[in-house]
Amino acid sequence: MHRVVIVGGGAGGLELATRLGKTLGRSGRARITLVDANLTHIWKPLLHEVAAGSLDAANDELSYLAQAKWNHFDFIYGRMTGLDRRRHVIQLAGWKGMYAPGEVPPTEVRYDTLVLAVGSVCNDFGTPGVREHCIFLDSRHDAERLRREMLERRLAAVTEGRSHRLRVAVIGGGATGVELSAELCDAQRKLAQYNHQQGAEDLDITLIEAGPRLLPALPEQIGASVEKELRNKLGIRVLTGTPVKRAEADGLFDAQGNKIDAEMMVWAAGIRAPGFLRELDGLESNHLDQLLVRPTLQTTRDDDIFAFGDCASCPLGGDATGNVPPRAQAAHQQAELLAQNVASRLEGKPLRPFQYHDHGSLVSLASYNTFGNLLGNRVIEGWVAHFFYASLYRMHQSALYGHWRTTRLMVGGFIAKNTRPLLKLH
């Protein structure tokens, strides 16, 4: 039986495993295996809400083992460390749990078709001190660490009966940095209600962007509107044209040597693919460690290996120049195509090339406002934009659960919302 191995259970990888499991796996035409170093999946665009405490990851995470059972694929827990293209095997690192009697040794998994969908991580651009002093937002663990540290600092101040203004610096004025800044501000306002205090005046947030404006990937009108909202409505200090050159324990330094004081610093500037990809048995990668792929999403040096999502450098297709942007909608579109191409590959049919379709972008400022561009670059904001923003996650859930189960999840979430605190407080 043909063995399809998918490495990476992010939005694209899990959707692809689900689609292939429902078709090739259920019919017995192929054995589909998903490999990931975590046991659960949470949609990465929600991590800023987990970091702020407005979303409890335990309620929204999805078990890979359960999804595998429901959709006719296998799940292997492990972290990929190497590849042997000649033997058609991937290598997984050994691991030891907290309670297991012994260590699970390194192992190998055989494949006939390999799909790499390992996503991306924050790019610190080699800036001194960033790795040591900044928090990243690459995983649920990172988000939970940020949430817990902010909560403990606030609780310590309340317990000791002292007033303390917590200074937080967010580096990166893209969607992640903007949404995180707004979400932290909103969360602090809600948290103050539980302590019978007056709002978020004890939180200072500085959003730092190296470029001339916020949200450079979106129309300039949206970037200007978002910056105005952050400054005037949320009280966030916005610094554009301010590249960070060094990080220390108590703050950041810009190109002119000016210091930006901060007790907590979150790095959300730029992405790159995981570093192990550049050492994968001769596969071709770029300066961001992304694997180079052809329009069919096959890697340039091996027809049996595909890559997609943030970890792949893929041409836009058609008459467009440049590469596919690292967005959730791109990974979704590529997963749809790959589900067809893998089936075509088994049948000996030609593979279809990928062509990216930009359906617009949306950015949420927590409960304050939402901005975006849809329908041919038409700028929208307010409740209409918020509706479309919320629907993105529902579309992701529908791809994994189906429409009826997603509807039940929505109803259940609405009912449970009235029985839980506004924030995760533990």
Reported as a single tens digit per residue, the pLDDT across 25-43 is 999 999 999 999 999 999 9
Task: Tell whether 380 is covered by a domain.
Answer: no
Mean pLDDT confidence for 392-420: 83
Q: Is the pLDDT of residue 252 over 90?
A: yes
The tokens for 414 are 């609405």
Give the span between the Cα atoms of 346 and 23, in whole angstroms. Answer: 12
Decide if 321 contacts 2 (C-beta within 8 A): no
Q: What percent of the chain has pLDDT over 90?
A: 71
Q: Is the pLDDT of residue 200 over 60?
A: no
pLDDT digits (tens, 9 = 90+) for 273-298: 999 999 899 999 999 999 999 999 99
Mean pLDDT confidence for 367-371: 93
What's the count of helices (H) and strands (E) in the chain, helices before strands?
12, 25
The pTM for the full model equals: 0.93
Q: Judge if 143 and 266 occupy the same domain.
A: yes
Q: Which residue has better confidence, 373 or 181?
A: 181
Q: How confident is the model at residue 98 (pLDDT cuts 50, 70, 90)?
A: confident
Q: Is the pLDDT of residue 210 over 50?
A: yes
Among residues 362, 414, 418, 424, the alpha carbon closest in space to that of 390 is found at 362
Task: Tell whether 337 is covered by a domain.
Answer: yes
Task: Tell whether 388 is covered by a domain.
Answer: no
Q: Judge if 83 and 59 occupy the same domain.
A: yes
Q: Judge if 78 and 152 occupy the same domain.
A: no
Q: Judge if 257 and 292 occupy the same domain.
A: no
Bridge partners of 291, per DSSP, are 285, 312
Q: Judge if 58 and 186 occupy the same domain.
A: no
Give the span between the Cα atoms of 241 and 269, in whole angstroms. Answer: 13
Q: Is 322 helix (H, G, I), strand (E, B) or coil?
A: coil
Last residue of a domain, one of 346, 370, 387: 346
Question: Counting every residue, how long is the chain?
Answer: 426
Q: Judge if 278 and 258 occupy the same domain.
A: no
- pLDDT for residue 100: 72
Pairing of strands 74-77, 30-36: parallel
Mean pLDDT confidence for 329-347: 96
Rg (CA), the chain: 22
Q: Which residue has better confidence, 10 or 202?
A: 10
The amino acid at 312: A
Mean pLDDT confidence for 257-267: 95
Decide if 346 contacts 24 (C-beta within 8 A): yes
Q: Judge if 160 and 256 occupy the same domain.
A: yes
Q: How confident is the model at residue 376 (pLDDT cuts 50, 70, 90)?
A: low
Mean pLDDT confidence for 390-403: 89
Q: Judge if 232 and 135 occupy the same domain.
A: yes
- pLDDT for residue 106: 94
Q: Is 165 helix (H, G, I), strand (E, B) or coil?
A: coil
- pLDDT for residue 197: 54
Q: Judge if 219 and 337 occupy the same domain.
A: no
Give the span between the Cα atoms of 230 and 234, in whole angstroms. Answer: 5
Decide if 135 contacts 266 (C-beta within 8 A): yes
Within 8 A by CB and 6+ apart from 74, the residues are 31, 32, 33, 34, 68
Task: Tell whether 381 is covered by a domain.
Answer: no
Q: Which segment of 99-103, 286-290, 360-364, 374-378 scores lowest on mean pLDDT?
A: 374-378
Q: Judge if 194 and 306 occupy the same domain.
A: no
CA distances in angstroms from 374 to 55, 81, 225, 358, listed in the order given = 26, 40, 16, 9
Neighbours of 387 (CB within 10 A): 12
Pairing of strands 302-307, 113-116: parallel
Q: Judge if 264 and 301 occupy the same domain.
A: no
Task: Output phi, psi for 294, to 5 deg.
Answer: -85, 175
Within 8 A by CB and 6+ apart from 423, the residues are 52, 53, 54, 187, 190, 191, 194
Among residues 276, 306, 283, the alpha carbon closest in space to that of 6 is found at 306
Range of the domain at 242: 130-270
Task: Tell whether 360 is covered by a domain.
Answer: no
Task: Tell whether 309 is covered by a domain.
Answer: yes
Q: Which residue has the tokens 């301010």?
A: 242
Q: How confident is the model at residue 11 (pLDDT cuts 50, 70, 90)?
A: very high
Q: Judge if 299 and 251 occupy the same domain.
A: no
Report CA dihedral (184, 187, 188, 194) to the nearest 10 degrees. Answer: -160
CATH label of the domain that carries residue 98: 3.50.50.60
Q: How confident is the model at residue 375 (pLDDT cuts 50, 70, 90)?
A: low
Decide if 335 contacts 15 (C-beta within 8 A): yes
Mean pLDDT confidence for 93-114: 89
Mean pLDDT confidence for 250-265: 95
The tokens for 133 are 């002093």
What is the average pLDDT score of the chain?
91
Report the run of H or E that residue 278 belongs to, with start and end. none
Mean pLDDT confidence for 124-128: 95
Last residue of a domain, one of 255, 270, 285: 270
Give the span between the Cα atoms of 42 and 39, in whole angstroms. Answer: 10
Q: Is the pLDDT of residue 181 over 80?
A: yes
Give the span between the Cα atoms of 45 and 399, in whole angstroms. Answer: 16
Long-range contacts from 103-109, C-beta under 8 angstroms, 24+ separation:
106/81, 107/78, 108/84, 109/5, 109/33, 109/35, 109/76, 109/78
Task: Tell whether 420 is covered by a domain.
Answer: no
Mean pLDDT confidence for 3-18: 97
Mean pLDDT confidence for 92-118: 91
pLDDT digits (tens, 9 = 90+) for 51-82: 999 888 888 899 999 999 999 999 999 999 99
Domain count, the chain: 2
Give the span between the Cα atoms of 397 and 392, in whole angstroms. Answer: 9
Within 8 A by CB and 6+ apart from 88, the residues are 110, 111, 112, 114, 304
Q: Which segment of 186-190, 194-198, 337-341 scores lowest on mean pLDDT?
A: 194-198
Q: How confident is the model at residue 195 (pLDDT cuts 50, 70, 90)?
A: low
Last residue of a domain, one of 285, 319, 346: 346
Mean pLDDT confidence for 229-247: 96
Q: Is the pLDDT of residue 83 over 60?
A: yes
Burial class (CB in 10 A: 0-12, 13-18, 19+), 40: middle
Task: Tell whether 56 is covered by a domain.
Answer: yes
